[in-house]
Structure 1
């Protein structure tokens, strides 16, 4: 793989030589002449917080650590026309949940058709290879003329900012290092590309320090992809992609005496006794008549297909789908729909197979100037990060990797007056998801989330204050327990100190009903949770703001769920450039 990077550098040199060098550096020279050397925009903020917890003798575990602090920045740097977006986030650790302190920082300078990546970054080659996983290292994207060349190298599977509170073991016992290269050509309706992604595990501990019960084995993976797209006419476009992934589950296993060509990946990979190879591919045809877009798509992912470039990859499936996107009834309705069939057990080796109807629908209807309706449904399987809701210390605020299997969303908004000063919103949603553990979907850990919400907002055009009110119903049903919460919440915000400051206050009361299914000895309970908060925001200067907040939670207790009181104080300082 390293030789490929050398080849890219050679290609880059020829590409630069073939460009109009005078025009390429013309913008830089103009910036120097105008003495516009450096520009910066964006914002940075720092926060600190304190927590005061009282279990009132109930033995309830503390929900937050006593103190916390953090820093975030999102800056757009511009040096002589070389633009460099910079992001960073730092936070202290959390001893209560064994979460380490974390730091993320990344820079992506770009000029003309050259983009470089350094630090904590992400790049996408293909949904079948590198997609959705951040890496700590370096990368580049070159687009000279009709050609596209990109590459990366760095450590994989580092938790992202939103993964910092994960309850799952996203990190492995080994340091996973990946590198990849993608080349492509794009010329007025013709697109072709090829990519090669490789990764391997390197031990982070001494052999004697490894826990033998973890059964951790170093893995190695390589994925080759080929894709193309051709626009045949204004109405017709065809596209397709093929990928082969070769995965070694244990690098320490015995080598194969006579490996097959498939596991050798055209001589690029050295397999052993634990190596498997699998293919994935899709073909799509798209029609674009005047009234919208129509598409027909076929996808097949063989069993055991896996890639280190994704947090989780769904395999052993075959999809045949068709879809339409079209505005209807003088653009009052926007409709996007996909329907089809899906089957698994492609190699007839599973104990049970499944053939099912799959589909998704999203419809938006602008009934009038005041009324807007939206409905969506999907039973396509997708992998997402879900945030668990903390209800009276039963669940920890955390991020989990889960496979969403079905979702329904309905929303209606209505302006109660012609000026839009009073707005009523009603929404409901349902979602079924299964937890992913050790790269396997755990069907025994299904969760069914239901939510109903009715909210009202009032904001007079000349008034300094605004009022909101919400009635919320939420239910989380799992194999172990069912939690249902219902209650109102009201909030009021008022501008103070001219237009430089604002004060907000909110209060809510929820009743939490809990039913334990796996512990018959625990009786069902219903407990009240009182929440209130106060926040103050002040714009010190045009570029500086400070925010202070205080919140209080008083949770009633029972035999199954001990009560507690919790006070949190926080301050945040922000600076915009």
Structure 2
């Protein structure tokens, strides 16, 4: 049940206090996650702005025989309104139809990000990112500050709740996942001058064991603790080179209730004092990433290396891609005064870095892109990519029965190769009152799966060409296109092709726009016809006073098929809509 509180001033002297209270309540409750407030705009910008809109659509549908694919009539109403007070935004929206309804408001999770010059504050629900291997976009409820004053020093700090306690539901019978309350804090200190920088990162999160009185052992929900240390640095060399590197190490206690470990802490954690106390469930992981880039103006190149230990994770991110090693090389260049652009990328990835898994996976990826603009009228773009993966499955019996390193070399090897090529060409035939455009595209994809001496191939081709012409005095545009595709999978070939014709024209000083389109598609499987589809569409839209928009559309679809398992049908769909913006 909702309760409402009415506040009414009883004396003229209390009017100022009443207005102050209203503004205070607005600032406290009319904010939500994801909005920032620039305090320097107070007194300069418009105090309150209200924007929004209302949309309604009514759809009528009819079909032959029993081919109805939707209700004969349906309607939709939707609206939104946004209140903006000096950067504080409160968006409200609703949707209602004869199928479902919904209402959205921002007060379940709210947060503010007030900004004044070089300082930004975080209050309520917010998210921050230190680096990909430490704190990376995790939502927290608390407070934070980000300081970037003029000069070389920068600082970011936060403290708050990263996970709310969720007790075990033993009454309703619903299966829920319990969770301990998790508190955490982080600090990032950096120095930057031009392209040279050094960042020191510390992040710590710890579950509160007493926040959850009971958890069944079968659920395997354990209270955890995590401390992450990271060093991120970059150095410009010889003016055109930039060397960057980040090293992160994570200490993870999987069960705070385990006995303390008397062994000394490894690596950097020996200097953390009471920030982290190891126990018998503690584990330590490392992540490293480096890159070298060269920027020579018309030519750029880069080399990257990344290695993430198996099971690497922190409590400051929702997901980590671990047990992986990546090597990448890329280059771009421009030739002939920028008329030709070339870009190439090559990469290698492998997992099972410590040989603990039953299978190994290695991927090789390469791509090249070429853009050619010989004149203002002609534009050509060509791309090619190759993806190759090699998987080797190692069973327990292979390890037991292996006598020499050369046994079982070809057992359960799986290779997958995928190639993709695309070409797009556009040519402008003329300008002025009768502009014309001719375009064409071609794409090719091949997939090859190899296992145990057997190969499985699949091919796919797609081609399209189009022509458009604009008659500006008549405010008329006419387009014609032809599309076709051919594929072959498991030895069976299929193809489909068909044309499309369309015309659109503006009336009443471009307030009324009408469009008519017709398309036809014929498909074949092998030498047998599969079916044909005809589609006719007529649409019209009218804009009134820049805030009102009316639209009407009608679509007729006819499908005929000779396939026994599919039935042909005819259907008509009409849509009447109205939209209002304020």
Give the TM bin, normalised by the shorter chain: 0.5 to 0.7
Inter-partner Cα distance in structure 2 for 1:72 and 1:199: 40
Deviations 1:95-119 (A, max 9, x none): 7xxx995748698765533556799
1:425 equivalenced with 2:452 (yes/no) = no
Of the three residues 491, 504, 507, the one matched with 2:518 is 507
Question: Which residue does 1:465 correspond to in 2?
Answer: 476
User: What pairs with 1:31-50 in structure 2 (closer than 5 Å)?
Assistant: 31=44, 36-38=45-47, 44=53, 46-50=55-59
1:192 equivalenced with 2:198 (yes/no) = yes
Question: For the Cα contact (< 8 Å) 1:104–1:120, is it kept in 2?
Answer: no
Question: Which residue does 1:240 correspond to in 2?
Answer: 245
SS of 1:421 mapped into structure 2? strand
Deviations 1:29-82 (A, max 9, x none): 5x2xxxx53475987563535363648325x76599944444467x79573xxx
- The CA RMSD measured in Å over matched residues stands at 5.5
Return closer, same or farther for 1:61/1:461 CA change in 2, 3 Å cut-off. Answer: closer
User: What pairs with 1:166-181 in structure 2 (closer than 5 Å)?
Assistant: 181=186
Question: For the Cα contact (< 8 Å) 1:450–1:474, is it kept in 2?
Answer: yes
Deviations 1:394-416 (A, max 9, x none): xxxxxxxxxx9875443221112
**TM-score after normalising by structure 2:** 0.62
Return the offset for 1:144: 2.9
Question: For the Cα contact (< 8 Å) 2:94–2:101, is it kept in 1?
Answer: no
Inter-partner Cα distance in structure 2 for 1:271 and 1:111: 41
1:144 equivalenced with 2:151 (yes/no) = no
Of the three residues 535, 541, 544, the one matched with 1:540 is 544
1:280 equivalenced with 2:293 (yes/no) = no
Count of paired positions: 472
Inter-partner Cα distance in structure 2 for 1:174 and 1:456: 60
Question: For the Cα contact (< 8 Å) 1:422–1:457, is it kept in 2?
Answer: yes
Question: Which residue does 2:331 correspond to in 1?
Answer: 324
Deviations 1:441-499 (A, max 9, x none): xxxxx9998643323222233331112233334579999x9996543333222102222
Question: Which residue does 1:367 correspond to in 2?
Answer: 374
Return closer, same or farther for 1:128/1:548 CA change in 2, 3 Å cut-off. Answer: farther
Unaligned residue ranges in structure 1 (runs of 5+): 1-23, 157-171, 382-403, 434-445, 516-523
Return closer, same or farther for 1:378/1:67 CA change in 2, 3 Å cut-off. Answer: farther
Inter-partner Cα distance in structure 2 for 1:490 and 1:471: 9
Question: For the Cα contact (< 8 Å) 1:506–1:534, is it kept in 2?
Answer: yes
Q: Which has the larger radius of gyration?
A: 2
Inter-partner Cα distance in structure 2 for 1:111 and 1:139: 16
Inter-partner Cα distance in structure 2 for 1:38 and 1:538: 34
SS of 1:353 mapped into structure 2? strand
Return closer, same or farther for 1:68/1:344 CA change in 2, 3 Å cut-off. Answer: same
User: What pairs with 1:392-407 in structure 2 (closer than 5 Å)?
Assistant: none
Question: For the Cα contact (< 8 Å) 1:492–1:506, is it kept in 2?
Answer: yes
Question: Which residue does 1:384 correspond to in 2?
Answer: none
Return the offset for 1:535: 2.7
Question: For the Cα contact (< 8 Å) 1:372–1:414, is it kept in 2?
Answer: yes
SS of 2:235 mapped into structure 1? strand
Question: For the Cα contact (< 8 Å) 2:77–2:97, is it kept in 1?
Answer: no
Inter-partner Cα distance in structure 2 for 1:176 and 1:529: 57
Question: For the Cα contact (< 8 Å) 1:538–1:545, is it kept in 2?
Answer: yes
1:496 equivalenced with 2:526 (yes/no) = no
Inter-partner Cα distance in structure 2 for 1:482 and 1:92: 46
Question: For the Cα contact (< 8 Å) 2:146–2:157, is it kept in 1?
Answer: yes
Of the three residues 305, 311, 317, the one matched with 1:304 is 311
Question: Which residue does 1:3 correspond to in 2?
Answer: none
Question: For the Cα contact (< 8 Å) 1:84–1:110, is it kept in 2?
Answer: no
Deviations 1:328-379 (A, max 9, x none): 1111112222224333321123344344533332321112221111123445
User: What pairs with 1:111-260 in structure 2 (closer than 5 Å)?
Assistant: 111-114=116-119, 124-128=129-133, 142-145=146-149, 146-149=153-156, 181=186, 183-185=188-190, 186-193=192-199, 194=201, 196=203, 224=228, 225-244=230-249, 255=258, 258=261
Structure with the greater relative contact order (CA < 8 A, sep ≥ 6): 1 or 2?
A: 1
Return the offset for 1:421: 1.5
User: What pairs with 1:60-71 in structure 2 (closer than 5 Å)?
Assistant: 62=70, 66-71=74-79
Inter-partner Cα distance in structure 2 for 1:342 and 1:336: 20
Question: Which residue does 2:33 correspond to in 1?
Answer: none
Question: Which residue does 1:452 correspond to in 2?
Answer: 463
Inter-partner Cα distance in structure 1 for 2:39 and 2:180: 39
User: What pairs with 1:470-489 in structure 2 (closer than 5 Å)?
Assistant: 470-473=481-484, 486-489=497-500
Question: Which residue does 1:347 correspond to in 2?
Answer: 354
Question: Which residue does 1:569 correspond to in 2?
Answer: 575
Inter-partner Cα distance in structure 2 for 1:114 and 1:243: 27
Inter-partner Cα distance in structure 1 for 2:97 and 2:281: 38
SS of 1:416 mapped into structure 2? strand
**TM-score after normalising by structure 1:** 0.62
Inter-partner Cα distance in structure 1 for 2:222 and 2:419: 34
Return closer, same or farther for 1:331/1:257 CA change in 2, 3 Å cut-off. Answer: same
Question: Which residue does 2:65 correspond to in 1?
Answer: 56
Of the three residues 294, 299, 324, the one matched with 1:292 is 299
Inter-partner Cα distance in structure 2 for 1:120 and 1:554: 52
